[in-house]
Amino acid sequence: MKLHSKDILGMKELTPGEILLILDTADSFAEVSTRDIKKVPTLRGKTIINLFYEASTRTRTSFELAAKRLSADAINISTSTSSVVKGETLIDTARTLEAMNPDIVVIRHSASGAPHLIARMVRHSVINGGDGFHEHPTQALLDMLTIRRRKGSLKGLEVAIIGDIAHSRVAHSNIHGLTRMGCRVTVCGPAPMIPRDVEKLGVSVTCNMEEAVRNRDVVMMLRIQFERHRASFPSIREYAKFYCLNEERLALANPGALVMHPGPINRGTEIAPDIADGMQSVILEQVTNGIAVRMALLYLLSGGSP
Amino acid sequence: MKLHSKDILGMKELTPGEILLILDTADSFAEVSTRDIKKVPTLRGKTIINLFYEASTRTRTSFELAAKRLSADAINISTSTSSVVKGETLIDTARTLEAMNPDIVVIRHSASGAPHLIARMVRHSVINGGDGFHEHPTQALLDMLTIRRRKGSLKGLEVAIIGDIAHSRVAHSNIHGLTRMGCRVTVCGPAPMIPRDVEKLGVSVTCNMEEAVRNRDVVMMLRIQFERHRASFPSIREYAKFYCLNEERLALANPGALVMHPGPINRGTEIAPDIADGMQSVILEQVTNGIAVRMALLYLLSGGSP
Amino acid sequence: MKLHSKDILGMKELTPGEILLILDTADSFAEVSTRDIKKVPTLRGKTIINLFYEASTRTRTSFELAAKRLSADAINISTSTSSVVKGETLIDTARTLEAMNPDIVVIRHSASGAPHLIARMVRHSVINGGDGFHEHPTQALLDMLTIRRRKGSLKGLEVAIIGDIAHSRVAHSNIHGLTRMGCRVTVCGPAPMIPRDVEKLGVSVTCNMEEAVRNRDVVMMLRIQFERHRASFPSIREYAKFYCLNEERLALANPGALVMHPGPINRGTEIAPDIADGMQSVILEQVTNGIAVRMALLYLLSGGSP
């Protein structure tokens, strides 16, 4: 089996079969990063470009490590050092990079749809590394891999996603991915942070965190992105009072419920420190699985089969 | 045959025989970037440092890819992260890098002559990646490779170079290189953008774009560098009115005339979008050939022979 | 023999036997950087992350080259591009990186003790690449390697360290390292730049530069770090008058005394240009030896034995 598209643009575009293919392939690559020699020659001579228009440690580093552990050549381009300062359009930058014969370009951009725009006009593969408020598919895939490794299967799990749903590309990608794989998803946050008509995506909605957490198998917290929309916010203290995941609230979830967060975390705002570092937290496993998922995607898009 | 110097500082310093050697070697490397495995072990264990005092996507990425496709180790140093912020002199930075035993250092600097200054005092090879208003030899070489691949030979071709000739290192390098290889070069731009005595370099001069374009085989547009000398400028609209390459003007050139631009392009200012993306445009081929030319230079300066 | 700790945090933590082990191993790696093919496969498949919270050319480049010449994968993270801008704590950044299974993380941070804090909580090795005013052990080790290569042995040598002792992590690391290896160390600088009770570390103290230099085998100048504490300073001219190493003062030292400086140098402030570039200067040898010392550390921390 192969992926039907040359690109990974969003969870919305992936079939359940493709998601399974990616997760299975990621499972088989996870072991590479635990070896003494963390490297396989699989993608030797391939060129992976990380084109990041937004700052990032974990996503860029994760893709770079995934590429290097597969022996590909990884090139980083970030806005601070790029000719973006010279006012080149995104499309011209993309076409210029295409002319350098990369195999895969990972794009992170503040504009929703930027990777899709690029993908349509270039021969090489494009991976969406996060676009505006739209999608962040590799995050959703690593989240799903993390849940599956812990719970055995995604099917029938009760998952709560809590925070600023409307402005979270992580939430959007997980809603598409988790519902597709048979999870029952409840989203929760202050009313202005819930997108209109989100129920049409097949999720339940509540503004009450206790209700959202009760009897869930997975509690996925979102990062409050102060740097993006500080203005539209009530006070942080107010937010934390109603939506911070603390011990009391987590106790409402099913025994052994997983606590997840895409990071970087705001300790004490969306998640209490003892919960972030606690027994039920799989936050660092998410990071570890991120490399495996990205290795799988680089491999599959390069024509590899499991 | 070998290059006579350990450095590539400018087209002015290269003989026609050396230019041919570089273009022939580049021709043989071009194929590597089209392979499934885009990598040869030629420069394994060599150290290439990209020392960039000015922002750049395409030149830095092109050199980095050229190095990696030859299996060399590439190190990037840009002003934003360098100890330049600590006020170290260029010469001390260069000597420090020399002490790390690099094989080749690519230098881009806003001061004309900076790479020449460094080259005289270090053992390793220096490649000028663009110095002030002076030279940008690897751009001229990739331009010449692009023309030769399309036209078969450089000899006897009629080439127009249009824009801010006085402040363009691309223009200067191409004037030296193209005239040396037997092209007839006409430069064109508003009077204040034409360097005094440029005719002494063996080129024709006109301020009239229609005259510059008529009966040419190659029309090479320059980037208007707003970020460098906005003050000395008339209005952009005024400039575009007289010097933008549009369909009407291009029709004056010879049939099949090549349209070139070093990028990044200002659409609608120096070149109309439909011309930049049109049948006669070889702008993206220039980018592709840039990697081949830089692979050739890294190879030849490392002691390789064709 | 092996290092007793998984980390290199400071010279204070290293025994004389460990220092000798590192210097001996560095001696054996020095030759690699002089080869035509400057690369050995020793650390293939290892992941080295350079996590730099302060700007640096020489230290970051030196670690990156050391890693690459040992065939390890090197990843650079600097504050300008990192999620530090998103307000993540140092500890969460460190734990996130740990989850990516690096073998060694090099940390430079403006806060004294930052690498120690991290080292205690992660499985992988941590190398202190400079922490606040505290320690810069790899600089001291490369200084000691440079002295030993020139003088044959460290034992019994008279060493002067001159400058802003109180705020110099280079001075602190060298004081610990050199005294441990049997050197007699004299520190010298304006009274406010001498740390209280520094004699307890086994060094002599003077505010008179002539006295500090007279009969020394090694004169180690420190960088005046204008960018850090400009306010606490008298005038630069005043400083240079009393503490700049010039020909007259160097003549007071023993014949063949070594002149050292960690760089980047402020010419004419702490060292006269003709002395920096003179016969007795080993400043560039320090840079060269820096790569050998860092190769040795990466090798030994990865479980290698000499």
| pLDDT, tens digit, 9 for 90 and up, residues A163-186 | 999 999 999 999 999 999 999 999
Instruction: Tell if the CB–CB gap between A39 and C92 is shorter than 8 Å.
Output: no
Instruction: Tell if the CB–CB gap between A37 and C46 is shorter than 8 Å.
Output: yes
Share of residues in chain A with pLDDT > 90 (%): 87
Is the pLDDT at A193 greater than 90, yes or no? yes
Phi, psi of C81 (to 5 degrees): -110, 0
The minimum CA-CA distance between A48 and chain B, rounded to whole Å, is 10
Residues of C engaging B, defined by a Cβ cutoff of 8 Å: 33-39, 52, 55-58, 60-62, 64-65, 68-69, 78, 80, 226-227, 263-267, 284-285, 287-288, 290-291
pLDDT in tens, B94-151: 999 999 999 999 999 999 999 999 999 999 999 999 999 999 999 999 999 999 999 9
Q: Which residue has the higher pLDDT, B142 or C192?
A: B142
Tell me the C-alpha distance between A293 and A288, whole Å.
Answer: 9
The minimum CA-CA distance between C135 and chain B, rounded to whole Å, is 19
Tell me the C-alpha distance between C219 and B19, whole Å.
Answer: 50
Closest by Cα among A187, A159, A145 to A11: A145
The minimum CA-CA distance between A234 and chain B, rounded to whole Å, is 36
Across residues C36-52, what is the average pLDDT? 97
Task: Give the model's confidence band at C170: pLDDT under 50 very low, under 70 low, under 90 confident, else very high.
Answer: very high
Shortest CB distance from C38 goes to which of B47, B97, B99?
B47
What pLDDT is attached to residue A79?
A: 75
Task: Give the model's confidence band at C228: pLDDT under 50 very low, under 70 low, under 90 confident, else very high.
Answer: low
Across residues C92-119, what is the average pLDDT? 96
Which amino acid, residue B296?
Answer: A
Is the pLDDT at C160 greater than 80, yes or no? yes
Across residues C215-239, what is the average pLDDT? 80
Please give the mean pLDDT across all residues of chain B. Answer: 94
Residues of C in contact with A62 (CB under 8 A): 100
Residues of B engaging C, defined by a Cβ cutoff of 8 Å: 44-47, 49, 73, 75, 77, 80-89, 92-93, 95-101
What pLDDT is attached to residue A87?
A: 63
Shortest CB distance from A55 goes to which of C85, C96, C101?
C85
The minimum CA-CA distance between C200 and chain B, rounded to whole Å, is 32
E strand segments, chain B? 47-52, 73-78, 104-109, 125-131, 158-162, 184-188, 204-206, 218-221, 258-260
Whether the CA torsion B38, B41, B45, B47 is positive or negative: it is: negative
Residues of B engaging A, defined by a Cβ cutoff of 8 Å: 33-39, 52, 55-58, 60-62, 64-65, 68-69, 78, 80, 226-227, 263-267, 284-285, 287-288, 290-291
pLDDT in tens, A203-235: 999 999 999 999 999 999 999 876 555 555 568
Residues with Cβ within 8 Å of residue A77, at least 6 apart in sequence: A49, A50, A51, A52, A97, B57, B61
What pLDDT is attached to residue C81?
A: 45
Residue at token pair 């004699």: C199
Residue at token pair 């200054």: B117
pLDDT in tens, A237-260: 889 999 999 999 999 999 999 999
Instruction: Tell if the CB–CB gap between C61 and B81 is shorter than 8 Å.
Output: no
The minimum CA-CA distance between C42 and chain A, rounded to whole Å, is 11
Query: Distance of CA B74 to CAs A101, B63, B139, B183, Å?
Result: 18, 9, 20, 35
**Residues A92, B265: contact at Cβ < 8 Å?**
yes
Is the pLDDT at C12 greater than 70, yes or no? yes
Contacts A–B by Cβ distance under 8 A: 86
Tell me the C-alpha distance between C158 and C180, whole Å.
Answer: 13
Is the pLDDT at A78 greater than 70, yes or no? yes
Residues with Cβ within 8 Å of residue B152, at least 6 apart in sequence: none
Task: Give the model's confidence band at C80: pLDDT under 50 very low, under 70 low, under 90 confident, else very high.
Answer: low
Share of residues in chain B with pLDDT > 90 (%): 87
Q: What residues pair up with C258 in beta bridges, in sequence order?
A: C218
**Residues C228, C268: contact at Cβ < 8 Å?**
no
What pLDDT is attached to residue C226?
A: 67
C-alpha neighbours within 13 Å on the C-beta side of residue A234: 14
Task: Give the model's confidence band at A80: pLDDT under 50 very low, under 70 low, under 90 confident, else very high.
Answer: low
Phi, psi of B194 (to 5 degrees): -100, 125
What pLDDT is attached to residue B86?
A: 57
pLDDT in tens, A125-147: 999 999 999 999 999 999 999 99
The minimum CA-CA distance between C92 and chain A, rounded to whole Å, is 8
Tell me the C-alpha distance between A293 and A296, whole Å.
Answer: 5
Neighbours of chain A (3+ CB pairs under 8 A): B, C
Choosing among C48, C57, C260, which should be mutated to test the B contact, i.e. which has the most B CBs within 10 A? C57
Neighbours of chain B (3+ CB pairs under 8 A): A, C
ipTM comes to 0.95
Q: What residues pair up with C2 in beta bridges, in sequence order?
A: none
Which amino acid, residue C294?
Answer: R
DSSP state for residue C195 in the 8-state scheme: P
The minimum CA-CA distance between B137 and chain A, rounded to whole Å, is 19
Is the pLDDT at B25 greater than 50, yes or no? yes
Closest by Cα among B193, B204, B135, B141 to B163: B193
Choosing among B58, B69, B224, which should be mutated to test the A contact, i.e. which has the most A CBs within 10 A? B58
H or E segment to which residue A73 belongs = strand A73-78
Residues of A in contact with C101 (CB under 8 A): 33-34, 38, 288, 291
What pLDDT is attached to residue A141?
A: 98
What pLDDT is attached to residue B88?
A: 77
Q: What residues pair up with A204 in beta bridges, in sequence order?
A: A186
What pLDDT is attached to residue B81?
A: 45
User: With left for phi above 0 and alpha for psi between -120 and 50, is residue C152 left, alpha or beta?
Assistant: left
H or E segment to which residue A226 belongs = helix A226-229
Is the pLDDT at B195 greater than 90, yes or no? yes
Residues A174-195 as b/e (b if ≥16 CB within 10 A, e otherwise) read bbbbbbbbebbbbbbbbeebbb
Choosing among B38, B51, B261, which should be mutated to test the A contact, i.e. which has the most A CBs within 10 A? B38
What pLDDT is attached to residue A229?
A: 58
Residues of A in contact with C73 (CB under 8 A): 38-39, 65, 68-69
What pLDDT is attached to residue A225?
A: 77
